[in-house]
């Protein structure tokens, strides 16, 4: 197959592409910059008889120390953004940070609460990323998918099965782009809001340390997994270079050279303690991938 433009790298450590800074080598990493190249990357995996997985900002994922014997398709180069009135249309690989900044410069409000979330738009939709009272799904007008049959479909958010930190998107296709509804706002007020949300995040979370955000979902809307783990005495508990954050117990931070197996040991310990002490069954929010590319 002729491949003139698609960027295809071999044996790249996945630690480079995750905010956790953890993960062994991927056999291939493809970096398409448009739909055509995305199709090309998928075809390449098929021709090589290799599994593939789609990677956004890598901010919610744990790759195994052994790496992945397949094709990681990174969407980071698919990052075109366009404003159409109060609607922001952006490709899946656009970082939330850039979206917030484009909206701010255009005097459009609505994305401020998401400041400090390190991911990209596609992943944020798949996970329905958010914080108390705000989810990315609330802002969606439509999402354009490349379906597994190879069709391009634009769907309203109601068809994506969006709920607390989940959606059905992974079973439906690959997000190419999305349209977000914003509202006009005064840029100086938007700036203040951005600053306020960011400060709160810095005050309450291990901002700037290597992590994958909250490890577990809250078991109920009014029950914080972080509080349960804290009450279970896990703040500061360490395995190798992985540690339950001293600032917020629902974050595991990579102090330097943490391995996936260290993180997984802490995950199991957290589940076990919370089950035994408080009777709650914690469920991972982070996506744990095995060496075959399956979500565990």
Using CB under 6 A, list all residues that contact ligand EPU. 131-132, 204, 213-214, 217-218, 224-227, 230, 235, 248-250, 285
Q: Which is nearer to ligand EPU, 59 or 144 (CB)?
A: 59
- How many separate helices (H) and strands (E) can be counted in the chain? 7, 18
Beta bridge partners of 12: 26
Q: Which is nearer to ligand EPU, 248 or 259 (CB)?
A: 248
Strand bridging mode 61-62 / 287-288: parallel
Q: Which is nearer to ligand EPU, 77 or 217 (CB)?
A: 217
Q: Whole-number minimum distance, CB 181 to ligand EPU, in Å? A: 22
Q: Whole-number minimum distance, CB 112 to ligand EPU, in Å? A: 13
d(CA 237, CA 249): 9
Dihedral-angle region of residue 77 (phi above 0 means left; psi in -120 to 50 means alpha; beta otherwise): alpha
Q: Whole-number minimum distance, CB 138 to ligand EPU, in Å? A: 14
Q: Whole-number minimum distance, CB 201 to ligand EPU, in Å? A: 7
Q: Could you give the C-alpha distances from 186 to 86, 109, 192, in angstroms and in order?
A: 14, 8, 10
**Are 152 and 140 spatial neighbours (Cβ–Cβ below 8 Å)?**
no
Q: Which is nearer to ligand EPU, 145 or 229 (CB)?
A: 229
**Are 125 and 144 spatial neighbours (Cβ–Cβ below 8 Å)?**
no
Q: Which is nearer to ligand EPU, 235 or 275 (CB)?
A: 235
Q: Whole-number minimum distance, CB 184 to ligand EPU, in Å? A: 25
């Amino acid at each position: 197959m002729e491949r003139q433009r698609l960027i295809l790298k071999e044996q790249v450590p996945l630690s480079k592409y995750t905010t956790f800074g953890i993960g062994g080598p991927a056999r291939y990493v493809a970096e398409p910059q448009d739909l055509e190249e995305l199709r090309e990357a998928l075809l390449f995996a098929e021709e090589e008889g290799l599994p593939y997985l789609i990677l956004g900002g890598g901010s919610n994922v744990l790759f195994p120390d052994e790496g992945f014997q397949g094709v990681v398709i990174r969407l980071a180069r698919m990052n075109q953004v366009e404003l159409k009135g109060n609607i922001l249309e952006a490709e899946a690989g656009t970082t939330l940070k850039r979206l917030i900044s484009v909206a701010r410069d255009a005097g459009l409000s609505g994305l401020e609460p998401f400041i400090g979330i390190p991911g990209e738009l596609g992943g944020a939709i798949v996970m329905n990323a958010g914080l108390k009272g705000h989810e990315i799904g609330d802002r969606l007008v439509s999402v354009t998918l490349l379906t597994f049959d190879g069709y391009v479909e634009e769907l309203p958010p109601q068809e994506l099965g969006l709920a607390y930190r989940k959606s059905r998107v992974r079973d439906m296709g690959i997000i190419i782009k999305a349209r977000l509804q914003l509202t006009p706002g005064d840029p100086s007020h938007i700036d203040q809001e951005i600053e306020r949300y960011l400060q709160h995040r810095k005050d309450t979370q291990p901002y700037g340390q290597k992590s994958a955000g909250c490890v577990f979902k809250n078991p109920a809307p009014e029950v914080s997994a972080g509080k349960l783990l804290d009450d279970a005495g896990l703040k500061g508990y360490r395995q190798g270079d992985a540690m339950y954050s001293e600032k917020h117990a629902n974050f595991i931070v990579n102090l330097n050279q943490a391995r996936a197996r260290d993180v997984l040991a802490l995950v199991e310990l957290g589940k076990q303690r919370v089950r035994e002490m408080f009777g709650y069954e914690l469920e991972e929010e982070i996506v744990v991938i095995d060496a075959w590319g399956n979500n565990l």
